[in-house]
Amino acid sequence: MKTNYRKRELPLHLMLLPGVILLLVYSYFPMAGVVIAFQKFVPINGLFNSKWVGLDNFRYVLDMPDIWQVMRNTVSIALMKMAAGLIVPLVIAILLNEIRSALVKRGVQTLIYLPHFLSWVILGGILVEILSPSTGIVNELLVWLGFDPIYFLGSNGWFRFVLVFSDVWKEFGFSTIVYLAAITGINPALYEAATVDGAGHWKQMWHVTLPGMLPIIVLMATLSLGNVLNAGFDQVFNLYSPVVYESGDILDTLIYRIGLVDAQFGVATAIGLFKSVVSLALISISYAMAYRYANYRIF
């Protein structure tokens, strides 16, 4: 009986083998590689012969003049994106659900998902073009309306606003799908019962649709918690410039500059390790909460 089991499961192990090997090399080996956060890492000496320096790299980071600024930027940009990214798709999904014309509904959906599939390189190029203070079409409109042109990507006051706005613009369509699916899953009998009880459209929205979506809203909110230190490398990297470091520099862009531009591998890895550990803790908490309150399991 036991050998029979083994024989039946052997193909399954074989199917997983290539994936396991690749993950070992490119995910688990780098995890072990975080030891260089505690070394004065010199590539020629390798992982095992570089000098151990204990917590020096972390101390160096804490003494960096910009680090708190960067921390504040990271957390505040991420939180603003999370809040906007939760609310906007929710509202749009409810509004979209009211549309009866299948043609309009599909057309709107097709267009609002579209930016999700374009990279920040492409969207960055587009934003630079339309937001340009001299020739951009947005500023042209502002001037036409009687305002002064705004240098959106070169002003510390506006930069974060552009980050949050453009992030929502890129991603809201995608989250809208999930909310729409949740609305579709609400039992139609509840609406009929509400109608019988004399509830109009607004009351139905408030007392049937929203409560029906609550589990998925809680789920999306908890799952996004793990991203508190992810303010979006691709986006910031493609939009920022030294002028707006003050308001836009985030942990990931700082790691890039310290690690690959200045070649201070130990220091960059130390910041990366800090970020990973905090994110891991937040993700674990959020998954535990999602499991408990929304009965969510990833597998």
For residues 52-111, which are near another protein according to CB under 8 A?
92, 95-96, 98-99, 104, 107-111
- Contact status: 42 vs another protein (CB under 8 A): no
Instruction: Indicate the residue type of 77.
Output: I
Alpha carbons 49 and 275: distance in angstroms, whole number: 26
Give the position of tokens 């793990």: 226
Task: Among 73, 74, 78, 124, indicate the residue that binds another protein (CB under 8 A).
Answer: 124
Three-state DSSP state, 139? helix
136 DSSP β-pair partners: none
Least Å from the CB of residue 251 to another protein: 11
Tell me if residue 153 falls in helix, strand or coil.
Answer: helix
Residue 25 has what DSSP assignment?
Answer: I
What is d(CA 45, CA 58) in angstroms, rounded to the nearest whole number? 21
Q: What is the smallest separation between the CB atom of 282 and another protein, expressed in angstroms?
A: 10
- The enclosing H or E element of 40 equals strand 39-40
Do 179 and 89 meet the contact criterion of CB atoms below 8 Å apart? yes
Stretch that binds another protein, among 57-65, 68-76, 211-219, 242-250 (CB under 8 A): 211-219
> Shortest distance, CB of residue 276 to another protein, whole angstroms?
6
Minimum Å distance from CB 151 to another protein? 15
**What three-state secondary structure class fits 270?**
helix
**Binding segment (CB under 8 A) for another protein, from list 58-66, 73-81, 147-155, 170-178:** 170-178
Question: Which residue(s) pair with 51 in the sheet?
Answer: 40
Q: How far is the CB of 287 from another protein (least distance, A)?
A: 9
Residue 271 CA: distances (Å) to CA of 73, 211, 256, 260, 299 = 15, 41, 10, 13, 31
| Least distance in angstroms from the C-beta of 123 to another protein | 8
Stretch of 57-65, 66-74, 77-85, 169-177 lying at the interface with another protein (CB under 8 A): 169-177
Between residues 53 and 283, which has the closer beta carbon with respect to another protein?
Answer: 283
Stretch that binds another protein, among 57-65, 75-83, 129-137, 151-159 (CB under 8 A): 129-137
Ranges within 171-190 binding another protein (CB under 8 A): 173, 177-178, 181-182, 185
Contacts (Cβ under 8 Å, ≥6 apart) of 234: 119, 120, 121
- Classify the phi-psi angles of 52: left when phi > 0, otherwise alpha if psi is within -120 to 50, otherwise beta: beta
Smallest separation (angstroms) from another protein to the CB of 149: 11
Interface with another protein, residue 293, by CB under 8 A: no
* Among 62, 137, 193, 288, interactor with another protein by CB under 8 A: 137
187: Cβ contacts below 8 Å, ≥ 6 apart: 212
Query: What is the nearest approach in angstroms of another protein to the Cβ of residue 54?
Result: 18
Using CB under 8 A as the binding rule, the residues of this chain from 248 to 277 that contact another protein are 255-256, 259-260, 265, 268-269, 272-273, 275-276
Applying CB under 8 A, the site for another protein has a residue count of: 92
Residue 199 near another protein by CB under 8 A: no
